[in-house]
């Protein structure tokens, strides 16, 4: 049986890891697949003596990715260059040329996946993207195939290791956000410009993909509510612990009677939940199905070989069905073409969740009653209160509140009234999810 010939675009961390895994585990992979996987072409911006394959004359090297997608000897194009463009154009050209595609590019799939999958369906080729979400965790396969008997009710995930590392350090060592961010950059966990990680954009790309698979809706990154962790303080982390919660940067997708919530934001979750104990740069996704109940998927969300594990698994899937008709393959997003739902994605005003609130108030009798009265007007119930003693006479104090579940529009109205009444000169709010 002839080998499957692979062309790699991008020889950085993940590209190098993919080459290493394919070479090191070649015998086991061949035994499992029934045919060998052979890298025949690779492209990178810079080709030198340190480049992987530099000593392997059987692999054609180029500094132009278009050489890969236009090479007639390549069966599967592996896109590991990242970003929106030229990745989109290269992938579409590979499909046009009748090649299967494997990508780790979550931004590309979240923004252009519908277009790419439609082109692949028309051409009868596969586009696989397991490595685009949660690195080495096989969450795409689990949701798209393993949970296919279920109606997914909701999912919640720690799907950005940089943010999780920062929040873990803030909790365990009492460090400030800016201090930990600098260390994350020094360790290579965060980029020089960390915006995508700490402001939730990276997680929103991934959540967009997971929500589409879970609920059978088109990819809609522009409708994913996104809030970062840069405003979380050590004070909030400490108070959360006192209340029995931990703060995690979660991606949450939930199907409700009104529509689908897609949101990324800092979240208090009970410390007893397994996902609350996922620390450092690790990722985890909790999925609630109507038949199976809750299932948790945990592992490395990034790194050369963990991500390469997912890339190679996709290549293996393509190799196993290499000569099968397209209709016999698993649909890219789990639902057959034309079967996606038009269920609306809700705006943030329609979210329903509980809240952690930190108010800075005067140390005087009746201030809690004033806040409670405003909340009562919006049908907001207070579940727990912590009021700190002032450090010195006349100093404002922190008033910490936990509320029960309420529509976000009502909370917005209540907090506007609190601020307008000068009860508090600042209000910090973090959403609370119990995940039960």
Alpha carbon distance, N-terminus to C-terminus of the chain: 50
d(CA 234, CA 258): 36
Secondary structure of residue 115 in the 3-state scheme: helix
d(CA 378, CA 361): 20
Q: How far is CA 158 from its chain centroid?
A: 7
d(CA 235, CA 171): 10
Helices (H), 42-176: 66-69, 87-96, 106-123, 139-141, 161-173
d(CA 235, CA 241): 10
Q: Smallest Cα–Cα separation from 330: which of 153, 196, 79, 129? A: 129
Strand pairing partners for 355?
431
d(CA 219, CA 111): 7
Phi and psi at residue 97, in whole multiples of 5°? -85, 5
- What number of other Cβ atoms are within 10 A of residue 257's Cβ? 4
Active centre residues (catalytic)? 206
Q: Smallest Cα–Cα separation from 22: which of 105, 7, 109? A: 7
Length of the chain: 436
Say if CB 112 and CB 83 are below 8 A apart: no
- What number of other Cβ atoms are within 10 A of residue 406's Cβ? 19
Say if CB 129 and CB 141 are below 8 A apart: no
Secondary structure of residue 254 in the 3-state scheme: strand
Q: Smallest Cα–Cα separation from 356: which of 246, 274, 257? A: 246
CA distances from 186 to 69, 182, 189, 305 (A): 35, 6, 8, 21
Say if CB 236 and CB 428 are below 8 A apart: yes
Say if CB 186 and CB 199 are below 8 A apart: no
| Residues near 160 by beta carbon (within 8 Å), at least 6 away in sequence | 197, 200, 202, 203, 206, 249, 283, 301
d(CA 405, CA 403): 7
């Amino acid at each position: 049986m002839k080998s499957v010939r692979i062309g790699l675009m991008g020889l950085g961390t993940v590209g190098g890891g993919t080459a290493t895994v394919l070479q090191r585990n070649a015998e086991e992979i061949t035994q499992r697949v029934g045919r060998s996987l052979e890298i025949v072409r690779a492209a990178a911006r810079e080709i030198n003596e340190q480049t992987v394959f530099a000593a392997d004359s059987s692999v054609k090297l180029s500094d132009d990715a278009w050489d890969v997608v236009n090479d007639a000897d390549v069966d599967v194009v592996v896109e590991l260059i990242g970003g929106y463009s030229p990745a989109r154009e290269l992938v579409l050209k590979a499909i046009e040329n009748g090649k299967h595609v494997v990508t780790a590019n979550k931004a590309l799939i979240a923004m252009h996946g519908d277009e790419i999958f439609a082109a692949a369906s028309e051409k009868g080729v596969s586009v696989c993207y397991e490595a685009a979400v949660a690195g080495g965790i096989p969450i795409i396969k689990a949701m798209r195939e393993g949970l296919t008997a279920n109606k997914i009710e909701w999912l919640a995930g720690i799907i950005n290791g940089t943010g999780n590392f920062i929040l873990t350090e803030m909790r365990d060592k009492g460090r400030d956000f800016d201090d930990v961010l600098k260390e994350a950059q020094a360790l290579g966990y965060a980029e020089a410009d960390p915006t995508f990680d700490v402001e939730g954009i990276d997680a929103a790309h991934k959540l967009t993909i997971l929500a589409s698979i879970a609920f059978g809706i088109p990819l809609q990154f522009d409708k994913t509510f996104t809030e970062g962790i840069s405003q979380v303080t050590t004070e909030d982390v400490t108070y959360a612990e006192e209340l029995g919660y931990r703060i995690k940067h979660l991606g949450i997708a939930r199907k409700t009677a009104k529509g689908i919530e897609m949101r990324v934001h800092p979240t208090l979750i009970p410390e007893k939940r397994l996902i609350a104990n996922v620390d450092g740069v690790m990722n985890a996704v909790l999925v609630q199905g109507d038949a199976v109940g809750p299932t948790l998927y945990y592992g490395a969300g990034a790194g050369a070989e963990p991500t390469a594990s997912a890339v190679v698994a996709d290549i293996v899937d393509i190799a196993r069905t290499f000569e099968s008709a397209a209709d016999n393959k698993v649909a890219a997003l789990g639902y057959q073409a034309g079967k996606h739902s038009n269920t609306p994605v809700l705006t943030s005003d329609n979210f329903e969740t509980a809240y952690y609130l930190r108010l800075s108030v005067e140390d005087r009798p009746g201030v809690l009653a004033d806040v409670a009265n405003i909340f009562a007007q919006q049908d907001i119930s207070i579940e727990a209160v912590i009021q700190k003693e002032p450090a010195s006479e006349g100093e404002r104090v922190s008033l910490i509140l936990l509320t029960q579940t309420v529509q976000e529009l009502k909370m917005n109205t209540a907090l506007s009234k609190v601020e307008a009444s000068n009860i508090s000169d600042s209000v910090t709010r973090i959403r609370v999810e119990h995940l039960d």
